[in-house]
């Protein structure tokens, strides 16, 4: 007797642990995602928030720039303006500063420190310490030409200390300097991987060719003057040519811009948090249904003894509340682990996040809301059902809850599927920007439809695809198949987790493969240049490089390409600037109308989608406003098929410079004379660019590889997230199987009694598991293929000209799905096989 | 019972196997130790002759179920030896026991005898399907006709009445022609009419098909279908009755009650 009591207690404990684990995991994924996103935000905010000032003054921008878009301007403030600002009532201090991208520290081997895509920033040193975001940790401030201070992370990484001599690449010349100080930046001392080099003000001004001008002014408020008040006063003093912002406004602007820039990552993470939440809720619901079902007799006894329905429900809910609170707390802790793992993952991609993880009140609130609310809801549904069971019925031995009809599911699912299918079909026919949104909407509808319909489809699937099980494994296969379709809702919900994860990954795999194929085709057909010189991530570099290349005899043509942001007829566009004379020999655009000659003078050539959206034709006049506020009237001289190598709108270098564009190249295309020896030309070019360690030389294949590398990196990230979603899916399957095994204890006992071996029993559980996971995988692959194809087609005007469905990869995903099934079954199968025959038969 | 004790050499075992479908020698089963020590079986010697229908009776806690479980290879012995046919089951490991149950033993439980996912026919052939053997079709047809379920073979258990379900269980136990069938209160959950049809069937299987059946029951009228009744009390066989009738069995059981009360001093 004592033994049975102990065993039932242990079994109960295990079940409790299961539902507890479900809550912990669900909350951990949600909390982890939120903590990581907050940390990401904080780090980038610190990076872009380059001021400790209360109010800052900068050249007026004609429009908001995205974080990702290169501004490409050299706008600056005259030194007299600083005096003007100082004179404003309420200003405690004001100091002009210089800040620029494109300053890189070379290591002892003469290579550029890999910042993983983060910029190399040069700044002037603030004399007024109250206005500086930097703080010295060693040495002193740079005081004259030939002295620099480095940020601590960069100095440590390269191994420079005070007194060392360093070589720096700047937007201007390459310089030698002595390290006189080491400093930390901002509150966390972190820069998300960017390197920071500080110069004495005059040196910085000279480097940028600013004369005695500045790129901005930091202003400190006197006591008692609010930042908003000070901003108004300063703004009134400097006039409309300058933007005056408070620290708060800047932070807000930057975080808004950041959200836009990181929206891709955030959307992905949110999607995975959604999966986590879905699976977590499902596991909790599943577990509580089981817990309550197991206790039906106990509850019925309570009812028979006179407990009211409400009392029974409340007793279950109280238990759920306690478990929800406990689980959420542990889940929150688990969230830190997940966020750390994500940070390490991003670190391996070169995106270093410094400082501590950020735990916001929102994260805590959401974690508890999710954990407690989901648990309560999950417990309430079965509790209500249990309380509604008539006591007598529940006391009977064979009481089985009636199976609910799937009619409503079928109806909802069919409507959603029709809507989603319609939206996808429409997107294939639609042109322009709306197509992607339609695919998004259609894809979401289809995913929801699949979730709704999956219990309905589970039986036909088990019957048709599952038909191979009895053929291959006889009775065990037969029983596994039958078991898989016994509770189609549970089977479907279990499979859904895998389905959603695989659908996302499949869609992105198709998009990625299509993009890569398109890049290959594009570079094959449109890149005429033999070589491309650029930095790894499109950072700007000095035009001296192009001049040196031009001097090489074998080089036929050089095209410099620069980028900037501009408003064309009121709409913000990424603008490229090239040399019209050499464009055709390096980058061949497929002109629908006009030609590269259309760039001459104040000419503009645009890609087809841009022209279509504005209704422009060759010969039309377009008004351009650049970030500096300069305007120009441009004449459309050509319309070309969208091309990833170049921006949607292209002007000549001359137009670009006249309207305030910075004289910094992002790409240099090199065309070599026919018949010139490849090896000798290449070494000549390499010699020419050798002093500029920031740029590298790529032939066409290498350039294509680099372009595809970016796509592959995003795919890697998505695959890493797949691992997460697979992990949760596995837990869901383990949970379902463990529940099923518990539920079927007597069946297991009977099977063992009449002669089923342990190995056969394990195989039965394993086959059921594989059937469920393959079901989820097949649904996911199908959905993902639809969405991926739709997305690729919708983005065809963005340069994704090819459609590639990576068959091998999809087969691999399916295989992974099957393996997941095998792995998830290990523990439940072992549990089933270990059951003592007698105990199993005796269980009531 | 002396024959049992002598039957320890291989030759003797073979000879005994001709006579007995199953037998046990000095079977003991002890649960727990110290204060919680419970002796469920106390050195029981027992044998079940081939082609005989034996009922095991006794008050609750007398050890009748334990005896059956140990003889059927469902539970392990603390000491003693047991044979089914010529196989000594007390020497078998789990794998051997599983195979033995599958090939040599038929089971009928009180409830939950059938897998809800399988049809009646699939349930009947399940042990052979698990073993990967093809059923003897003529025998199978005979069994199915004997239980009178030909019309219901495609039905799932939930579509069958309790009596029908137990008859399917009987058919399953018989289908693989086991050495012995163990039935644990097979009519415990049935009304008297359904119970009678199951019991008649078991008796027919013994009389006409030469089966050996051992049935645990607490119902005197169920026991009256058997060829002999073994009475257990406190883990020992205390009496045996040949050609039982319900009245005689009832009388014997009443004697237990009185003895029991006397022993525990309730009256």
Query: Are B98 and A757 an interchain contact pair (Cβ–Cβ within 8 Å)?
Result: yes
| Cβ pair A81, A155 in contact under 8 A | no
Please tell me the predicted confidence (pLDDT) of residue A72.
46
| Distances, alpha carbon A210 to alpha carbons A96, A99, A430, in Å | 12, 11, 49
Query: Are A482 and B117 an interchain contact pair (Cβ–Cβ within 8 Å)?
Result: yes
Is A148 touching B (CB cutoff 8 A)? no
Domain boundaries, chain A: 51-254, 457-527+703-844, 540-693
Is A471 touching B (CB cutoff 8 A)? no
What whole-number distance in Å separates Cα of residue B73 and Cα of residue B100?
A: 8
B17 belongs to a structural domain: no
Please tell me the predicted confidence (pLDDT) of residue A68.
34
Segments of chain A with pLDDT less than 50: 1-2, 4-5, 8-9, 50-51, 64-72, 397-402, 844
Q: Rounded to 5 degrees, what are φ and ψ at A134?
A: -100, 155
B7 belongs to a structural domain: no
Nearest to B74 among A398, A760, A838 (CB): A838
What whole-number distance in Å separates Cα of residue A10 and Cα of residue A4?
A: 10
B56 belongs to a structural domain: yes
Q: Rounded to 5 degrees, what are φ and ψ at B175?
A: -60, -35
B164 belongs to a structural domain: yes
Q: What is the mean pLDDT of residues B202-218?
A: 89
B195, pLDDT greater than 50: yes
Please tell me the predicted confidence (pLDDT) of residue B182.
92
Task: Give the 3-state secondary structure of residue A433.
Answer: coil
Is A2 touching B (CB cutoff 8 A)? yes
B100 belongs to a structural domain: yes
What whole-number distance in Å separates Cα of residue A643 and Cα of residue A641?
A: 6
Residue A464: partners with Cβ closer than 8 Å, 6 or more residues away: none
Nearest to B127 among A398, A747, A754 (CB): A754
B 110-139 residues with CB below 8 A of A?
111-118, 122, 126-127, 129-132
Q: Tell me how crowded residue B132 is: count the other CB atoms within 10 A of its CB.
A: 9
B25 belongs to a structural domain: no
Please tell me the predicted confidence (pLDDT) of residue A781.
93
Q: Tell me how crowded residue A513 is: count the other CB atoms within 10 A of its CB.
A: 21
Residue to mutate among A483, A491, A754, with most B CBs inside 10 A, is A754
* B127 contacts in chain A (CB < 8 Å): 754-755
Is A402 touching B (CB cutoff 8 A)? no
DSSP strand pairing (A591-594 vs A631-640) = antiparallel
User: Residue B143 belongs to what H/E stretch?
Assistant: helix B137-147
- Helix A758-794 × helix A745-753 angle, to 10°: 130
* A760 contacts in chain B (CB < 8 Å): 130
What whole-number distance in Å separates Cα of residue B80 and Cα of residue B70?
A: 10
3-state helix, strand, coil in chain B (%, to 5): 45, 25, 30
| Cβ pair A279, A349 in contact under 8 A | no
B141 belongs to a structural domain: yes
Residue to mutate among B126, B179, B184, with most A CBs inside 10 A, is B126
Q: Containing domain of residue B96, as a range?
A: 51-76+91-264
Nearest to A755 among B103, B122, B189 (CB): B103
A 755-774 residues with CB below 8 A of B?
755-758, 760
Query: Are A752 and B130 an interchain contact pair (Cβ–Cβ within 8 Å)?
Result: no
B28 belongs to a structural domain: no
Closest-CA residue of chain A to B172: A754
What whole-number distance in Å separates Cα of residue A451 and Cα of residue A443?
A: 12
**B240: CATH:** 3.40.50.300
* A838 contacts in chain B (CB < 8 Å): 69, 74-75
Helices (H), A430-487: 434-464, 468-484
Task: Give the 3-state secondary structure of residue B249.
Answer: helix
Please tell me the predicted confidence (pLDDT) of residue B95.
85
Q: How far is A459 from chain B (nearest CA, A)?
A: 13
Please tell me the predicted confidence (pLDDT) of residue B264.
42
ipTM comes to 0.83
Q: Rounded to 5 degrees, what are φ and ψ at A707?
A: -60, -45
Share of chain A above pLDDT 90, in %: 4
Query: Are A750 and B127 an interchain contact pair (Cβ–Cβ within 8 Å)?
Result: no
Place of tokens 């990576």: A806
Query: Are A753 and B117 an interchain contact pair (Cβ–Cβ within 8 Å)?
Result: no
What whole-number distance in Å separates Cα of residue A539 and Cα of residue A667?
A: 9
Is B156 touching A (CB cutoff 8 A)? no
Please tell me the predicted confidence (pLDDT) of residue B6.
46
How many A/B residue pairs have CB atoms within 8 Å? Answer: 73
| Cβ pair A843, A11 in contact under 8 A | no
Position B212 confidence tier, pLDDT thresholds 50, 70, 90: very high
**Number of domains into which chain B is organized:** 1
| Distances, alpha carbon A122 to alpha carbons A39, A42, A538, in Å | 25, 22, 17
Is A552 touching B (CB cutoff 8 A)? no
Please tell me the predicted confidence (pLDDT) of residue A74.
52
DSSP annotation string for B194-210: HHHHHHHHHHHHHHHH-
* A757 contacts in chain B (CB < 8 Å): 95, 98-99, 130
What whole-number distance in Å separates Cα of residue A405 and Cα of residue A195?
A: 62
């Amino acid at each position: 007797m004592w033994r049975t009591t102990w065993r039932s207690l242990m079994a109960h404990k295990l079940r409790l642990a299961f539902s507890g684990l479900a809550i912990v995991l669900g909350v951990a994924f949600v909390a982890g995602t939120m903590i990581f996103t907050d940390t990401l935000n904080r780090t980038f905010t610190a990076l872009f928030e380059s001021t400790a000032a209360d109010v800052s003054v900068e050249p007026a921008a004609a429009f908001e720039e995205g974080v990702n878009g290169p501004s490409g301007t050299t706008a600056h403030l005259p030194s007299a303006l600083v005096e003007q600002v100082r004179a404003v009532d309420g200003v405690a201090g004001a100091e002009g500063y210089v800040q620029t991208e494109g300053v890189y520290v070379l290591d002892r081997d003469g290579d550029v420190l890999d910042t993983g895509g983060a910029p190399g920033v040069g700044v002037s040193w603030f004399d007024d310490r109250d206005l500086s975001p930097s703080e010295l940790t060693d040495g002193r401030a740079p005081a004259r030409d030939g002295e620099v201070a480095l940020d601590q992370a960069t100095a440590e990484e390269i191994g420079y200390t005070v007194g060392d001599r360093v070589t720096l690449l700047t937007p201007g010349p390459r310089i030698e300097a002595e390290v006189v100080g080491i400093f930390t930046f901002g509150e966390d001392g972190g820069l998300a991987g960017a390197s920071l080099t500080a110069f004495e003000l005059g040196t910085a001004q000279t480097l940028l060719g600013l004369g005695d001008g500045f790129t901005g002014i930091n202003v400190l408020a006197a006591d008692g003057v609010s930042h908003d008040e000070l901003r108004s006063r300063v703004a009134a003093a400097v006039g409309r040519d300058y933007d005056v912002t408070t620290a708060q406004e800047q932070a807000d602007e930057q975080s808004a811009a950041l959200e836009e820039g990181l929206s891709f990552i955030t959307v992905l993470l949110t999607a995975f948090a959604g999966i986590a939440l879905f699976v977590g809720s499902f596991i909790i619901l599943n577990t509580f249904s089981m817990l309550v079902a197991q206790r039906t007799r106990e509850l019925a006894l309570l009812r028979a003894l006179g407990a009211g329905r409400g009392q029974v429900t409340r007793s279950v809910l109280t238990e759920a509340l306690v478990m929800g609170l406990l689980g959420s707390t542990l889940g929150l802790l688990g969230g830190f682990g997940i966020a750390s793992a994500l940070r390490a993952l991003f670190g391996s991609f070169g995106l270093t996040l410094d400082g501590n993880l950020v735990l916001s009140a929102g994260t805590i609130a959401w974690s508890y809301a999710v954990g407690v609310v989901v648990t309560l809801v999950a417990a309430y549904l079965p509790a209500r059902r249990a309380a509604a069971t008539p006591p007598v019925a529940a006391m009977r031995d064979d009481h089985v809850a009636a199976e609910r009809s799937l009619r409503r599911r079928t109806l909802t699912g069919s409507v959603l599927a029709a809507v989603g299918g319609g939206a996808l079909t429409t997107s294939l026919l639609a042109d322009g920007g709306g197509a992607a949104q339609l695919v998004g909407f259609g894809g979401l509808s289809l995913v929801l439809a699949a979730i709704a319909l999956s219990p309905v489809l589970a039986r036909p699937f088990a019957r048709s695809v599952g038909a191979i099980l009895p053929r291959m494994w006889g009775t065990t296969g037969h029983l596994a198949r039958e078991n898989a379709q016994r509770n189609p809702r549970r089977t479907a919900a279990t499979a859904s987790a895998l389905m959603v994860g695989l659908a996302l990954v499949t869609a992105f795999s198709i998009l990625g493969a299509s993009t890569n194929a398109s890049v290959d085709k594009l570079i094959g057909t449109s890149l005429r240049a033999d070589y491309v010189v650029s930095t790894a991530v499109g950072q700007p570099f000095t035009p001296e490089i192009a001049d040196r290349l031009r001097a090489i005899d074998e080089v036929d043509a050089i095209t410099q390409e620069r980028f900037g942001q501009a408003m064309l007829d009121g709409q913000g566009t990424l603008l490229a600037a090239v040399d019209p004379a050499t464009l055709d020999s390096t980058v061949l655009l497929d002109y629908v109308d006009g030609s590269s000659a259309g760039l001459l003078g104040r000419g503009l050539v645009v890609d087809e989608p841009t022209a279509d959206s504005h209704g422009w034709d060759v010969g039309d006049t377009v008004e351009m406003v650049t970030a500096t506020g300069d305007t120009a009237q441009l004449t459309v001289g050509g319309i070309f098929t969208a091309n990833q190598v170049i921006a949607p709108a292209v002007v000549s270098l001359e137009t670009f410079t006249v309207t305030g564009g910075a004289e910094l190249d992002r790409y240099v295309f090199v065309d070599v004379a026919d018949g010139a020896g490849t090896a000798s030309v290449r070494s000549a070019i390499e010699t020419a660019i050798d002093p500029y360690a920031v740029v590298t030389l790529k032939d066409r294949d290498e350039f294509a590889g680099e372009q595809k590398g970016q796509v592959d990196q995003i795919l890697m990230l998505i695959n890493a997230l797949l691992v997460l979603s697979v992990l949760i899916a596995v837990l869901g399957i383990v949970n379902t199987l463990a529940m099923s095994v518990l539920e079927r204890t007597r069946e297991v006992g009977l099977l063992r009694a009449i002669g089923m071996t342990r190995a056969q029993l394990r195989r039965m559980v394993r086959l059921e598991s594989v059937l469920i996971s393959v079901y989820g995988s097949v649904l996911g692959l199908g959905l993902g293929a639809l969405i991926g194809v739709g997305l690729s087609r919708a983005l065809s005007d963005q340069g994704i000209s090819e459609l590639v469905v990576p068959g091998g990869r999809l087969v691999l995903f399916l295989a992974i799905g099957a393996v997941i099934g095998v792995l998830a079954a290990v523990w439940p199968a072992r549990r089933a096989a270990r059951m003592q025959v007698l105990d199993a038969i005796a269980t009531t | 019972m002396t024959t049992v004790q002598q039957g320890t050499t291989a030759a003797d075992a073979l000879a005994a196997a001709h006579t007995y479908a199953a037998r046990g020698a000095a079977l003991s089963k002890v649960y727990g130790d110290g204060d919680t020590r419970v002796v469920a079986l106390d050195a029981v010697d027992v044998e079940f002759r081939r082609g005989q229908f034996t009922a095991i009776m006794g008050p609750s806690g007398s050890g009748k179920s334990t005896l059956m479980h140990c003889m059927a290879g469902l539970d392990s012995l603390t000491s003693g030896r047991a044979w089914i046919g010529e196989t000594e089951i007390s020497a078998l490991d789990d794998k051997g026991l599983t195979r033995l149950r599958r090939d040599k033993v038929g089971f009928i439980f009180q409830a939950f005898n059938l897998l809800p996912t399988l049809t009646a026919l699939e349930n009947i052939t399940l042990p052979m399907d698990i073993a990967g053997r093809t059923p003897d079709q003529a025998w199978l047809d005979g069994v199915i006709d004997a239980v009178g379920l030909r019309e219901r073979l495609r039905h799932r258990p939930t579509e069958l009445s309790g009596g029908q379900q137990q008859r399917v269980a009987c058919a399953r136990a018989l289908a693989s022609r086991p050495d012995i069938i163990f039935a644990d209160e097979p009519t415990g959950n049935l009304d008297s009419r359904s119970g009678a049809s199951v019991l008649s069937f078991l008796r027919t299987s013994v009389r006409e098909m030469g089966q050996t059946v051992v049935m645990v029951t607490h119902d005197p009228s169920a026991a009256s279908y058997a060829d002999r009744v073994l009475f257990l009390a406190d883990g020992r066989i205390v009496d045996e009755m040949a050609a039982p009738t319900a009245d005689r069995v009832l009388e014997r059981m009443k004697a237990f009650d009185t003895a029991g009360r006397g022993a525990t001093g309730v009256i």
